[in-house]
Structure 1
Amino acid sequence: MSQNETNGATERLTVGTDTEARDIAMILLPERQGNALPHLVWLGGYRSDMSGTKAVELARFAERLGTGCIRFDYSGHGASGGAFVDGTISRWLEEALAVVDHARSRLGTRRMLLVGSSMGGWLALLAAQELQRRGHGGDLAGMVLIAPAPDFTVELIEPNLTAEQRASLAERGFFEEPTPYGPDPNIYTLKLIEDGRRNRVLGSVIDAGCPIHVLQGMEDPDVPYSHAIRLMEHLSCDDAVLTLIRGGDHRLSRPEDIDKLLEAVSHIIDAS
């Protein structure tokens, strides 16, 4: 039995139309009857998918609590369709919001707790802003952000581009970079970087309208913990907590890291 099979069957949702249509894979775990706890919504990182350790443990936790859980893969990721190189922050945000909207009708989801990892932390903040614009800000019970990487294209990639990478962006529209997380290199496209500039959140105060708990490893080679501290300086909510994990890396997938994740989720649920 696969990890996904322990928590429900994979469903499909088409997002976009015509040439922009892409097939999004998702797993929706319904709440137990009468359970009023917020549903947990997983927002994964760049090139990660909903079968990763943190996502699966979150779904198992939701199952133990009897509440709903929403997991999905962005286009170009995991079991979803679409080309990875077509991905942008705006495109993946559109998919996240479409999945949430679908869950509202499919599961009756209203109150939600967003759990965003790395790039998913950026998308969680953008999703919160969009839900507020729609008048649904009260539906957010809170957020747990794991090694969040808001504005990573602007803040962490662009300033460190080599002359060779800049030339590749100009000539080929992308550059590649080796990664310790798999055999294939990371691909960063010009459209991703340009779109990242349009989706910045660290340029002003971030009013998420809900409690936020940030978990950040101090040995993270990809997102330095100074970036998490900078995010905290931009959050307007009084109920914002930062936990720095000595020895923690970017993935924060060790058993002790998972314990901290579930503790943070529990704390927000208990306060909601």
Structure 2
Amino acid sequence: MSATPIEPEISRMEVGKDASLRVIAMRIFRAEPASAFPALIWLGGYRSDMTGTKAVEVERHARAVGADCIRFDYSGHGASGGEFRDGTISRWLEEGLAVVDHATSGRVILIGSSMGAWVALRLVEELRRRGEGQRVAGLVLIAPAPDFTAELIEPNLTEAEKASLAEQGYFEEPSEYSPEPNIFTRALIEDGRDNRVMNGPIETGCPVHILQGMRDPDVPYTHALRLMEHMPSDDVVMTLIRDGDHRLSREEDIAKLKQAIDSLIAKA
């Protein structure tokens, strides 16, 4: 990987009203000359931010092919305002929609990592509900974790975690990726039930490329296979990476990510 180019300056926008008002930080790269390609929009994972390896590499690739790229931080993440403990899928979805509306006017390719893949799938649902589904030219879903609160967390709660949720409204668990523990709130889990996408057929109306590591300790590859089964009418390609982990941030993983983006640009 070559040296990282100078990043676009952070721009900010307000989302929500009154007590729910928060300021969202974005980095918006505009191709010159203006691009006819769909804009690449990065949707990060739980507790990840727009400075992560994959996010930066997506923008680097946008520069190389001549496409716009938008990265942003959810509230409670990175450079954005708001409290992490206030975060829910509905809240982060609202922010993703606001970014799409603010920073793009044409077609987009949504690139969602882990929880970001869940947000991406909900974004497509909301855009289709608004009659704007044709704006989504494709989805790249990396180690996708849709419905992770209901499918991966709730069934495995210990009695101590259930008690902590009931008494304190949250529980903590050690993180492999940070010295700070992961925090899962009752609000996140309850809101997750209302945002489930794997409870029936998923129709995105666009090509989808899933990248999934088979040694992912956080989201089993069988979860990605189940997701694919819920997309019977979509053009779905899945790349299983035999030795891949959850991050999929190695150079060879990034190469596969860029190939997936290129395949969707070619179909746009």
SS at match of 1:12: strand
Determine the structure 2 residue equivalent to 1:71. 71
Runs of 4+ in structure 1 deviating by more than 3 angstroms, as ranges, are none
What secondary structure is seen at the aligned counterpart in 2 of 1:80?
Answer: coil
Structure 2: runs of 5 or more not aligned:
none
Q: CA deviation at 1:238?
A: 3.8
Q: Per the alignment, in what secondary structure is the counterpart of residue 6 of structure 1?
A: coil
Q: Who is 1:30 aligned against?
A: 30
* Correspondent of 1:256 among 235, 249, 252: 252
Q: Which moved more, 1:233-242 or 1:248-257?
A: 233-242
Post-superposition offset of 1:91: 0.1
Task: Select 1:230's aligned residue among 204, 226, 229.
Answer: 226
Q: CA deviation at 1:207?
A: 0.4
CA contact (8 A) 2:209 2:236 kept: yes
Which residue of structure 1 aligns with residue 17 of structure 2? Answer: 17
The answer to whether the 8 A contact 1:4-1:51 is kept is no
Q: Which residues of 2 match residues 87-236 of structure 1 at below 5 A?
A: 87-104=87-104, 109-236=105-232
Root-mean-square deviation over aligned CA pairs: 1.1
Sort the Cα spacing of 1:4 and 1:170 in 2 relative to 1 into closer, same or farther, 3 A: farther
Name the SS of the counterpart of 2:249 in structure 1.
Answer: coil
Conservation of the 8 A alpha-carbon contact between 1:211 and 1:237: no
User: Bigger shift: 18-27 or 4-13?
Assistant: 4-13
Q: CA contact under 8 A between 1:128 and 1:137: conserved in structure 2?
A: yes
Distance 2:120 2:91 in 1: 14
SS of structure 1 residue aligned to 2:6? helix
Change (3 A) 1:65 1:35: same
Which residue identity lines up with residue 164 of structure 1 in the other structure? Answer: A
CA drift of 1:7 comes to: 2.8
Distance 1:229 1:64 in 2: 32
Structure 2 letter corresponding to 1:65: V
Aligned residues: 266
Distance 2:5 2:260 in 1: 26
